[in-house]
């Protein structure tokens, strides 16, 4: 038996003893060393989520652990692309039409497809390794934007964990970075990693939207310089429309680009950047906490400093 966090319905999270997961033919049992919390987990817990399997459901998708068969330290990737759809054939696995999602990091063990595992660099702790999942999404968003040579001045709208990770990557590329957030703690955090902070943005070559609300999508467009690019990183609630000003889209030739998820190679790059200290994962880490404290951690996650709770299930 193992202990695992199980969702039984919206808001109904229980820590239970369950059978150890039985790995399928292409799967490996991984003992979880650390799993980090994310805004998506909060959504899954409070109101459910389209990628959750039917209840009772396991969740947690930023997961680092140790392979039961080889003892190798691994990051458990949270998805496996089908490899066959049109988007996969165009080498865009992050928008695969039939991905297999791998959830269940908030547990002592998880069965995961061997193809979704990434080797963790020796000098990277499990909590840092788990953060390679969101950092890979931030890397992908930067990849979607014009390079520094044409877009040296970047704005980041939103100072949550994703905004902070974007700012860290852009600072590492030696772009001029301004992060905007209404919370003073989050602005201070951005300054600590070498960005400038502001309450709002204006006239940037590239603007990264990392809030996920329609008003913020509009603000991001309004904060973009003529000829610039807006990258939408924050997903809005299902069914949401955003009202965008048409004038700059046409007369200023703004490029609007979505950025979703990541490709496996971006996960490996993220692990390397965490291991060599380019991105300081400790600046975002809170805890560690055990499985029993997971509901409290999820409830506390959205106020004050941007942080990700490190859950150590064992």
Interface residue list for Zn ion (CB under 5 A): 38, 40, 81-82, 85, 88, 96, 134
CB-nearer residue toward Zn ion: 175 or 232 = 232
In whole angstroms, the minimum distance from the beta carbon of 135 to Zn ion comes to: 10
In whole angstroms, the minimum distance from the beta carbon of 311 to Zn ion comes to: 13
In whole angstroms, the minimum distance from the beta carbon of 38 to Zn ion comes to: 3
Q: Scan for tokens 């046409």, then name that residue.
A: 250
> How many CB atoms within 10 Å of residue 22?
8
Instruction: Give buried/exposed letters for 160-177 (b at 16+ CB in 10 A, else e).
Output: bbbbbbbbbbbbeeebeb
Tokens matching residue 5: 């966090």
CB-nearer residue toward Zn ion: 81 or 279 = 81
CB-nearer residue toward Zn ion: 89 or 174 = 89
CB-nearer residue toward Zn ion: 21 or 134 = 134
In whole angstroms, the minimum distance from the beta carbon of 100 to Zn ion comes to: 10
Tokens matching residue 298: 């999820």
Name 285's bridge partners. 308
DSSP state of 243: -
Name 118's bridge partners. 75
CA 244 to chain CA mean position, Å:
25
In whole angstroms, the minimum distance from the beta carbon of 14 to Zn ion comes to: 22
Residue 83: is it exposed, middle or buried by C-beta count within 10 angstroms (0-12/13-18/19+)?
Answer: exposed
Rounded-to-integer distance, Cα 136 and Cα 274, Å: 11
CB-nearer residue toward Zn ion: 75 or 151 = 75
CB-nearer residue toward Zn ion: 33 or 133 = 133
Tokens matching residue 242: 């955003």
> How many CB atoms within 10 Å of residue 278?
15
CB-nearer residue toward Zn ion: 23 or 134 = 134
In whole angstroms, the minimum distance from the beta carbon of 101 to Zn ion comes to: 12
In whole angstroms, the minimum distance from the beta carbon of 138 to Zn ion comes to: 11
In whole angstroms, the minimum distance from the beta carbon of 92 to Zn ion comes to: 9
Rounded-to-integer distance, Cα 75 and Cα 129, Å: 6
Rounded-to-integer distance, Cα 27 and Cα 166, Å: 33
- Asked if 146 and 229 count as a contact pair (C-beta separation under 8 A), the reply is yes
Helices (H) then strands (E): counts for the chain: 10, 18
CB-nearer residue toward Zn ion: 83 or 226 = 83
């Amino acid at each position: 038996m193992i202990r695992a966090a199980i969702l039984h319905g919206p808001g109904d999270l229980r820590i239970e003893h369950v059978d150890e997961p039985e790995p399928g033919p292409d799967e490996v049992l991984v003992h979880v060393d650390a799993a980090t919390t994310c805004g998506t987990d909060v959504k899954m817990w409070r109101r459910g989520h389209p990628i959750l399997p039917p209840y009772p459901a396991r969740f947690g998708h930023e997961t680092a652990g140790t392979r039961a068969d080889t003892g190798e330290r691994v990051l458990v990737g949270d998805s496996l692309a089908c490899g066959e759809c049109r988007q996969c054939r165009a080498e865009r696995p992050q928008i695969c039409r039939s991905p297999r999602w791998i959830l269940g990091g908030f547990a002592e063990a998880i069965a995961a497809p061997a193809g979704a595992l990434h080797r963790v660099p020796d000098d990277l702790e499990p909590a840092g390794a788990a953060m390679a999942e969101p950092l890979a999404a931030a890397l992908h968003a930067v990849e979607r934007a014009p390079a520094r040579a044409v877009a040296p001045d970047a704005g980041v709208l939103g100072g949550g964990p994703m905004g902070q990770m974007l700012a860290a990557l852009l600072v590492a590329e030696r772009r001029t970075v301004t992060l905007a957030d209404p919370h003073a703690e989050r602005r201070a955090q951005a300054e600590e990693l070498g960005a400038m902070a502001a309450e709002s943005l204006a006239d940037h070559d590239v603007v990264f939207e990392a809030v996920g609300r329609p008003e913020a999508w509009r603000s991001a467009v309004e904060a973009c310089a003529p000829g610039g690019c807006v990258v939408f990183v924050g997903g809005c609630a299902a069914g949401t429309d955003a009202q965008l000003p048409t004038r700059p889209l046409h007369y200023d030739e703004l490029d609007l680009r979505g950025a979703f998820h990541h490709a496996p190679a971006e996960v490996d790059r993220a692990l390397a950047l965490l291991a060599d200290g380019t991105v300081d994962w400790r600046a975002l880490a809170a805890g560690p906490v055990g499985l029993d404290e997971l509901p409290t951690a999820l409830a506390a996650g959205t106020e004050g400093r941007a942080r990700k709770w490190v859950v150590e299930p064992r």
